[in-house]
Amino acid sequence: MSANMDVVGTPAMHEVLSRYRLITCPARHYLRSDTPKFNNENCNICWLGGIEDISKLSELSSDFVGLDVANGYTIKFVDAVKRLREKCPNATVVAGNVATADMTQELVLAGADIVKVGLGPGSVCTTRIKTGIGYPQLSAVIECADAAHGLSGHIIADGGCANSGDIVKAFAGGADFVMIGGMLAGHDECDSSVENGKMSYYGMASKSAMEKHNHNNEYRGAEGKTVEVEYRGPVEDTIKDILSGVRSACTYVGADKLKALSKCTTFVRVNRTHNTIYGDR
Ligand code: 5GP
């Protein structure tokens, strides 16, 4: 699924991703805009908003909605998930972000069907540098998937994938969905322009995002950055590349479907000596 970020959560991205039955999470400003830009009839779309968007989310005709905050570890957030569940009894509800088993359980018990997992792994995230807060993403995925599956819930591994191999590892760790931002940046379908063969991609807590959305201009510390990525043309080729990587991984391990990937794989701890000799091979 595409991240709900300004640059990649666009209607043009949705057009292409839905052809491959991939899910688009529209950038939040589309949820708040009065003119609908996305075709809600199309099921491959998941609307995510903040606590203040609960009414808006429940008014949508979408059956795939959720609450997405930087820190899912607050009572206020858990209460908000309960409220969204009450308002949308039949919808598939997403909630995050968290990175540990206990909080995954708490969100599932509060009514979330899918928990979004990731604290600090994003390619344009500076939370770990700014605050020292974070959790190694593969460990978070393994831990949270276990907790969610035990309660018949699901998880989204959100952030930190730089190539199709990383997406495979997320599925292998137990993720049911993988959310990507940076891998979709730099394409024609992005909300960004090409300059000197590069396109910019910025975090939703970066200065760029704040300048775009923070209308009353009050100062807020940034926990995201802006990067210039290589312009890569249409996103369709990248999608085909990702899908072929995932399919190939399934054949390597003998998984007949994506769901079987985690049962057919195992992780091997690589020690420092191995790393020194072989790099990350
Ligand atoms: P990527 O695929 O680029 O590695 O990660 C995308 C994810 O990074 C998003 O889905 C979101 O969870 C996270 N993210 C997006 N913008 C920001 C930001 O400004 N700060 C932080 N800490 N995380 C961000």
List all residues 6 or more positions away from 118 whose beta carbon is below 8 Å from its beta carbon: 96, 97, 99, 137, 140, 157, 158, 159, 160, 179
pLDDT of residue 207: 93
Q: Which residue has the higher pLDDT, 48 or 274?
A: 48
- Confidence band (pLDDT; 50, 70, 90) for 189? very high
User: What does the pLDDT read at residue 148?
Assistant: 98
Instruction: Give the mutation target among 1, 5, 130 for probing the ligand 1 site: most ligand atoms within 8 A of CB.
Output: 5
Question: Does residue 217 surpass a pLDDT of 70?
Answer: no
User: Do 184 and 235 contact (CB within 8 A), yes or no?
Assistant: yes
Report whether 76 contacts 95 (CB < 8 A). Answer: no
Q: What is the pLDDT of residue 273?
A: 73
Residue percentage of the chain with pLDDT more than 70 = 95
Among 21-35, 64-78, 145-159, 240-254, which is the least confidently predicted range?
Answer: 21-35
> 103 pLDDT exceeds 80?
yes
Contact between 143 and 149 (Cβ < 8 Å)? no
CATH classification number, 11-203+230-263, choose in 3.40.50.620, 3.20.20.70, 3.30.70.260, 3.10.20.30: 3.20.20.70
Query: Residues 25-35, buried b or exposed e (16+ Cβ, 10 A)?
Result: bbbbebbeeee
Atom of ligand 1 nearest to the CA of 4: 10
- Quote the ligand 1 centre to 252 CA distance (angstroms): 30
In the reported structure, the alpha carbon of residue 204 is separated from the centroid of ligand 1 by a whole-number distance in angstroms of 7
> What is the reported pLDDT for 41?
65
pLDDT range class, residue 270, cuts 50, 70, 90: confident
For the chain, give the mean pLDDT. 94
What mean pLDDT do residues 40-63 have? 89
Please give the pLDDT value at position 3: 98
Span from the CA of 274 to the centroid of ligand 1 (angstroms): 31
Which residues sit with their C-beta closer than 6 Å to ligand 1?
A: 3, 5, 118, 122-125, 127, 158-161, 179-182, 203-206, 223-224
C-alpha angle 62/174/238, rounded to 5°?
65
Whether 269 has a pLDDT exceeding 90, the answer reads no
* Number of helices (H), then strands (E), in the chain: 12, 8
Is the pLDDT at 274 greater than 70? The verdict is no
- pLDDT value, residue 271: 78
72-86, 181-195, 236-250, 265-279: which range is least confident on average?
Answer: 265-279
Q: Of all atoms in ligand 1, which is nearest to the CA of residue 97? A: 12
Cα–Cα distance measured from residue 211 to residue 131, given in angstroms and rounded to the nearest whole number:
22
pLDDT band at 219 (very low <50, low <70, confident <90, very high): confident
User: Does residue 122 register a pLDDT over 80?
Assistant: yes
Weakest-pLDDT range from 32-46, 52-66, 202-216, 228-242: 32-46
**Taking 70 as the threshold, does the pLDDT of residue 76 lie above it?**
yes
Report how far ligand 1's centroid is from the alpha carbon of 277 (Å). 32
- Substitution candidate for ligand 1 out of 4, 13, 119, 124 with most atoms within 8 A of CB: 124
Q: Which of 125, 164, 180, 220 is the best mutation target for the ligand 1 pocket, counting ligand atoms within 8 Å of the beta carbon and taking the most?
A: 125
Is-catalytic flag, 43? Answer: no
Atom of ligand 1 at shortest distance to CA of 123? 4
Higher pLDDT, 34 or 131: 131
Question: How far away, in angstroms, is 278 Cα from ligand 1 center?
Answer: 30
Indicate which residue of 125, 161, 190, 250 is catalytic: 125
Residue 194 Cα, ligand 1 centroid: separation in angstroms?
21
